[in-house]
Amino acid sequence: MHENTADTAPAVQQLTFSLAGEEYGVDILSVREIRGWTRVTRIPQAPEHLLGVLNLRGAIVPVMDLRLRFGLEREDYGDATVMIVVAVADRLFGIVVDSVSDVVDIDPAAIKPVPDMGAIVDTRYLKGLATHVERMVMLLDVEKLMRPEDVDALGTALPEVRNVEVSA
Q: In this structure, are residues 146 and 88 in contact, taking their beta carbons and an 8 Å threshold? A: yes
Domain CATH for 89: 2.40.50.180
65-79, 93-107, 143-157: segment of lowest average pLDDT: 143-157
Assess if residue 4 is contained within a domain.
Answer: no
Looking at residues 7-35, what average pLDDT do you find? 90
Percent of all residues in the chain with a pLDDT value above 90, rounded to a whole number: 41
Confidence band of 98 (pLDDT split at 50, 70, 90): very high
Supply φ then ψ for residue 37, to 5 degrees. Answer: -60, 135
Asked if the model's pLDDT at residue 148 lies above 70, the reply is no
- Is residue 107 pLDDT above 70, yes or no? yes
On whether the pTM is more than 0.85, the answer is no
Residue 2: inside a domain: no
Domain-located, residue 34 = yes
Domain that holds residue 72: 12-167
In-domain check, residue 5: no
Predicted confidence (pLDDT) at residue 13 exceeds the cutoff of 70: yes
Q: How confident is the model at residue 8 (pLDDT cuts 50, 70, 90)?
A: low
Is residue 1 domain-resident? no
Identify whether 3 is part of a domain: no
Number of domains in the chain: 1
In a domain, 116, yes or no: yes
